[in-house]
Amino acid sequence: MKEWQEQQSTLLEEINRACRQPFLDKVIGRPVINPLRASALMLAFTDEERKSEQVQKLMQAAVLIGLAMDVHDAIPSVTKEITQKNQLIVLAGDYFSGMYYRTLAEAGCVHWVGVLAGAVKRVNEAKTSLHRYQLETKDAILNAVAVIEGDIIGAVHIEKGTDEIMARALRQLLTADRLLREKNEPFILFEALKQQYETDQQVIEVIEQRLKEIHADVTKCIESIDSYKAAVIEAERDRLFGSRPLRLVEEG
């Protein structure tokens, strides 16, 4: 799977290069690029497609818009004053949004702005509903997280006509990644769930139960996916859940 790993590394390097802004890095820290998002995007394209500059730019852009929205999450939803740091966080998010549009324009991928616009809207709405504690059940809250983590990349897969089972497996993995992060470092999901339960331990148990369900569903999905893509998904599943990584097979 050397070629896959090289392509993923190149994609992540290009995104990190595009995100490099020394002043913002100094004030708010360098953004962390989630490698799972890169893998999920890569699986929407064939090996040959991934070699084209246009597709590489498209994948970079999809990660950048997700990153812009993640950065804006760092702004407190309720604050009495706009601090300099909050202003810089807004600036950083806007900077990455600008990079998203510029990257698509450079590649002649303006069509994808329309493709992704609906997903961006849904993600923003889901985040707002969590920040404002508007969701009244754990399932509604967990479904909102699936939208936040999966809809932008999912829009790419829908446009490319990806197999639905593979798309579901990736959406589940992206959701699991967020659940694991919130379990260790509570954020908007954890706080939203705390409105439904009395203790942190109860929230953790809800998260752990959903993670167990996701693991089982992804494992079932893998059985119906072609061996090359199944190996990628299986490796990502094992990386997330702490199992022994499996050796990936070569395509074809």
For the stretch 161-170, pLDDT in tens is: 999 999 999 9
Confidence at residue 81, expressed as pLDDT on a 0 to 100 scale: 57
pLDDT at residue 245, rounded to an integer: 42
Evaluate whether 99 touches 161 at the Cβ level (below 8 Å).
no
Residue 248 lies in a domain: no
In a domain, residue 115? The reply is yes
Let me know if residue 226 belongs to a domain: yes
What is the CATH classification number for the domain harbouring 60?
A: 1.10.600.10
Does residue 136 lie in a domain region?
yes
**Predicted local confidence at residue 184, as pLDDT:** 93
Let me know if residue 91 belongs to a domain: yes
> What are the helix (H) ranges across the chain?
2-19, 22-28, 35-42, 47-50, 53-73, 84-106, 111-131, 138-160, 164-184, 188-194, 200-222, 227-241
Residues of the chain with pLDDT under 50: 244-252
d(CA 179, CA 171): 12
Rounded to an integer, what distance in angstroms lies between the CA atom of residue 49 and that of residue 96? 25
Residue 249 lies in a domain: no
Asked whether residue 252 is domain-assigned, the answer is no
**For 172-182, what is each residue's pLDDT tens digit?**
999 999 999 99
Q: Give the pLDDT score at 7.
A: 87
Report pLDDT for 82. 62
Structural domains counted in the chain: 1
Q: Is residue 30 part of a domain?
A: yes
Determine the pLDDT at residue 26.
77
- Per the structure, the complete domain to which residue 34 belongs is given by 2-241
For 109-122, the pLDDT digits (tens) are 888 999 999 999 99
Q: Which residue has the tokens 């897969």?
A: 157
